[in-house]
Structure 1
Amino acid sequence: MKVLALILSVILFAGCSSPAPVEPVAVKPTPAPTPAPDAAPGKDPGDTTVKTELPRGKPGSLLSKIDRARLSAQVQQAPKAINIKQRCSFRNETGYNGSTLVEIANNEVKALSTQIAVPLHGGSCSFEGSGFRQVARAPSIELRHNDGCTVRIWTQGKQLTISYSKCSARCSNPEVFKYVWPVLIDQPSGKCD
């Protein structure tokens, strides 16, 4: 829906700056047809998914030039559930190093533990899963601790990202947290950085 709203905003903005007036259009949600009782296996007969139909524009207008099939596919594409069980470690040329253990099943965090050492700035940080509670499952996973530390986990392509914010209390020296970067895990290879 965000993609559709963005595209409609661009269309309306472009229409306001073009010499020819463009009439505003309303997007009308239409309910998906109810499948017949003998529908394909695996389909939920009670599925009430709302499909959005983009109206046709006047010939020559920006709205008429939109690839409706591609836009429809993007709007209706649901994010995939995160399922991963991985243990990895990383080190770069400056000595920055760490290790991560993450286990997520269907966007529910089962285990999470990260240790990061920042030798150039004299300290380390430890992010253990105990004490965190999961407060969001989608579009990204979010965990919070009573001390204010927040963990966000999301995927982009085949890469899983684990980021930490407001977690300086979990470091040997609170100043070290300024040098902690998100942990990136390449899911096909299992390598992290």
Structure 2
Amino acid sequence: MKLRFTLALAVALLAACATPPEHAPEATPPAPAESAPTAGKSPEFKNSTLKYLAKRNLKPQPTRPLNVRSRCSHKDAIGTVTRLNLLVKEADVKAFDVQVSMKGRGACRFNAQDFKQDARLPQVLLRHKTQNDCTVRMWEQGKEVTIAFNSCPQACEGQAFQYLWPVIVDAKTGRCH
């Protein structure tokens, strides 16, 4: 009995050390040619998000020069006060002054004199004159213009920049929210 167990153990160890024989790679069949989608048929998507988006009638946002004028003030439900003076004509920033005061967090201030305009299309891009990482982007999306701030903690008091959200402006009325 002891001999059989020892023999079985030896065979198992030898089998574990053995390398499998090399097989010749199997020939893979050529991939089927993808046919162009037919005009009346919607494409088939595997991802559920893409399936959802395919059912919506989404069209790309046109690339055109940004034109917006806003002189607004807004206070939200949690006490954040936004004051904005903005004038952009044909994607050229003429006036830009933003102050966002966050209750209990501090305030952030952005002014045109501290920035130089780096791009006009597809988005207006302002870059801080001394802090290259600090940028402000403006773009139109539907009926609204978004003003977003990136890597600009020096424009804010304390940790206020961590709580700063983009400013949204109604392109037609100039109201901000």
Same fold (TM over 0.5): yes
Residue 130 (1) aligns with residue 113 (2): yes
Shift of 1:82: 1.1
CA displacement 1:132-190 (0-9 Å, x = unmatched): 111111111101012232000000011000010111101121x1101010000012232
Q: What TM-score results when the alignment is normalised by the length of structure 2? A: 0.66
Tell me how far apart the structure 1 counterparts of residues 175 and 165 of structure 2 sit (CA, whole Å). Answer: 16
Runs ≥4 residues deviating over 6 A: none
Give the alignment partner of residue 140 of structure 1, picking from 123, 127, 136: 123
**In the alignment, residue 134 of structure 1 is paired with which amino acid?**
Q
Give the alignment partner of residue 97 of structure 2, picking from 96, 113, 118: 113
Residue 22 (1) aligns with residue 7 (2): no
Residue 171 (1) aligns with residue 145 (2): no
CA gap 1:134/1:84 in 2 versus in 1, 3 angstroms = same
Q: Which one has more relative contact order, counting CA pairs under 8 Å at least 6 apart? A: 2
Q: What TM-score results when the alignment is normalised by the length of structure 1? A: 0.61
Where in structure 1 are there 5+ consecutive unaligned residues?
1-18, 24-60, 68-73
CA RMSD of aligned residues (A): 2.3
Shift of 1:78: 4.7
Tell me how far apart the structure 2 counterparts of residues 117 and 180 of structure 1 sit (CA, whole Å). Answer: 9
Aligned-pair identity in percent equals 36
Give matches, 1:79-98, under 5 Å. Answer: 79-98=63-82
Shift of 1:65: 2.9
Aligned length: 129
Where in structure 2 are there 5+ consecutive unaligned residues?
1-29, 42-58
CA gap 1:66/1:133 in 2 versus in 1, 3 angstroms = farther
Match of 2:169 in 1: 185
Report if the CA contact (8 A) 2:69-2:88 is conserved.
Answer: yes
